[in-house]
Structure 1
Amino acid sequence: MDVPKIALKGVKKFFGPKVVLDGIDLDVQRGESIVIIGGSGTGKSVLLKSILGIIQPDAGTIRIDGQDTTHIGGRERERAMAKFGMLFQGAALFDSLPVWENVAFGLIQGQRMARGEAKERAVATLGAVGLGPDVANLFPSELSGGMQKRVGLARAICTRPEIIFFDEPTTGLDPIMADVINDLIVKCVKDLGATALSITHDMASARKIADRIAMLYKGRLIWVGPVSAIDDSGNPYVDQFIHGRAEGPIQMQIRAF
């Protein structure tokens, strides 16, 4: 059997007495798109940051292409990071740089590509997400939210990464623009042949971009399965979450004023 692109085994993370990740086991196969769902504060972002090496797990191992990356640093970490692209939650563009430099940031800073060549690649990548060359010299403040998200996606794929992370890719977008972004994500991941790991609480997005869905609750993956099986999970926590019901085993903490 092929070595998983990403393999998590027994990953734990604590912040003081709070258990955020409580023994995560998950394999992501090459070319697969996995979406992790779960409510706010369930540890989705901590899991993503642990894989990226921004946060060190307190236990367990994280392997990328079979290499244990749990505690690597320096050049080894840089080499591992070169495989990743990321679409951040709020697009996270640099306000002081024009659009093309935002898109080409990884090429110029990470790969030391010449600026002229990097700009050509950036403009071509903008075209892949439906933005014309006229957008390249604009600044992020001149773009709508949907256009900023497209630029963020272009930056995520411009280095032609092997693995792409999507952090709440449709947050802040209207339903139509969210669907446009979802379609673009599916297309770009397929065109690159990349492996994708996304975190979201938008079920429309999860259904569209996932091959498999994993639900995180209280630091544990309580259900993992194909997207086609999500409506028949047989898990009351999953059922409550995907249908957005107030009543059920998941109790939201509401403070009295």
Structure 2
Amino acid sequence: MTEAPAKIAIRGLHKSFGSKHVLRGVDLDVPAGSSVVVIGGSGTGKSVLLKCILGILQADAGSIRVDGSEVVGASGSDLEGIRHKFGMLFQGGALFDSLPVWENVSFGVRARQKIGRDEARRIAVENLEKVGLAADVADLMPAELSGGMQKRVGLARAVALQPEILFFDEPTTGLDPIMADVINNLIRSLTRAMGATALSITHDMASVRKIADYVAMLYEGRVIWYGRVEDLDRSGNDFVDQFIHGRAEGPITVGTR
């Protein structure tokens, strides 16, 4: 799909839940060092795709290769080895309510490395500073943070392990437009500084235009368009055009009850 080598290569991916066919043969490349954003309406399979790549869900058929290593069917140490390349910013932040901020940020580091509390706190503060949060935030509890601060703490945790691949699940959901732009800028600057590959799912077109190098549109379980973000407005695809402009009229129909 691109000239750059694929960090993640997906071919013929299928996933069903009983009689409900969610993914129906997804093909997608995520080029190394680039940012790919998957767009599509609710229920089109974006989250299921992400969970299959992470190995949280087992695909029914097809292939997901990360640096050539197969995720589909992998288990135990093989899957864990692949996951060591990953960092994740969850949609709701997914912070541990009972742990202070610094322990949230350093949680993954301490799980993989034998380090003491002082070193873990130092690493946490260093990564909090990367997302624009002062050192004194480290001792706060998640309940004391605003939604935007929680997102930034989640981002600090995602980058603390210096992953090769970052995943972003609806990174600006629930944020006001200004804070959403702050998060988008941080995602863009941090992934570039790290030289990381990024895969995001979102329906927020402002995020798409800010953080994407490439865009893939998922519809009815398949990628129906893939291209550079600068080509989005001239995709020549009626489904893409309707979605990115938020039009009720078009080939995408929304069922009512």
TM-score normalised per structure 1:
0.97
Does the Cα contact within 8 Å between 1:3 and 1:65 map onto a contact in 2? Answer: no
Letter in 1 for 2:125: V
- 2:232 corresponds in structure 1 to 230
> What residue number does 1:62 align with?
64
2:203 is equivalent to residue 190 of structure 1: no
Aligned residue type for 2:96: F
SS at match of 1:63: strand
Partners of 2:37 and 2:212 within 8 A in 1: yes
1:219 pairs with 2:221: yes
2:20 aligned partner: 18
* Partner residue in 1 for 2:105: 103
SS of equivalent residue, structure 1 residue 54: coil
Letter in 1 for 2:44: T
Q: Does the CA-based 8 Å contact 1:3-1:66 persist in structure 2?
A: no
AA of the residue aligned to 2:228:
P
Which of 172, 175, 186 is the aligned partner of 1:173? Answer: 175
Deviation (angstroms), 1:11: 0.6
Distance 1:115 1:57 in 2: 39
Say if 2:69 and 2:82, in contact at 8 Å, map to a contact too. no
Can you list the C-alpha shifts for 1:132-163, whole angstroms capped at 9, x where unaligned? Answer: 00000000000000000000100110000000
1:146 pairs with 140, 145, 148, which one? Answer: 148
Q: Distance in 2 between matches of 1:3 and 1:235?
A: 26
Q: 1:50 is matched with which residue?
A: 52
Offset, 1:2: 6.2
Report which stretch shifted further, 197-206 or 69-78.
Answer: 69-78
TM superposition shift of 1:114: 2.7
Q: Distance in 2 between matches of 1:69 and 1:101?
A: 30
Q: Distance in 2 between matches of 1:157 and 1:113?
A: 18
The aligned amino acid for 2:34 is E
2:72 alignment partner, SS class? coil
Pick from 101, 116, 119: which aligns with 1:114?
A: 116
**Which residue is 2:207 aligned to?**
205
Residues in 2 aligned to 1:75 and 1:126: alpha-carbon distance in whole angstroms: 30
CA distances 1:212-240 after superposition (whole Å, capped 9, x unpaired) = 00000000000000000000011111001
**Secondary structure of 2:6's aligned partner:** coil
The residue type paired with residue 225 of structure 2 is W
Q: How far apart are the structure 2 equivalents of 1:19 and 1:46?
A: 11
Q: Percent identity?
A: 65
Does 2:126 align with 1:124?
yes
Distance 1:6 1:49 in 2: 14
In the alignment, the residues of structure 2 paired with residue 149 and residue 2 of structure 1 have an alpha-carbon distance, to the nearest angstrom, of 31
Q: What SS is found at the alignment partner of 1:78?
A: helix
Amino acid at match of 2:131: V
Find runs of 4+ consecutive structure 1 residues off by over 4 angstroms.
none
Compute the displacement of 1:118 (Å).
Answer: 1.6
Structure 2's unaligned 5+ residue stretches are: none
Count of matched residue positions in the alignment of Structure 1 and Structure 2:
255
Q: Distance in 2 between matches of 1:107 and 1:219?
A: 35
Q: Tell me what 1:162 maps to.
A: 164
Shift of the alpha carbon at 1:3? Answer: 4.3
The farther-off stretch of 44-53 and 2-11 is 2-11
Deviates more, 1:163-172 or 1:66-75: 66-75
Partner of 1:86: 88
Q: Distance in 2 between matches of 1:221 and 1:34?
A: 13
Per the alignment, residue 247 of structure 1 pairs with: 249
2:224 and 2:32 mapped to 1: Cα distance? 23
- State the 1:18 CA deviation: 1.1
Q: TM-score, normalised by structure 2?
A: 0.97
> Could you tell me how far apart the structure 2 residues matched to 1:65 and 1:148 are?
31
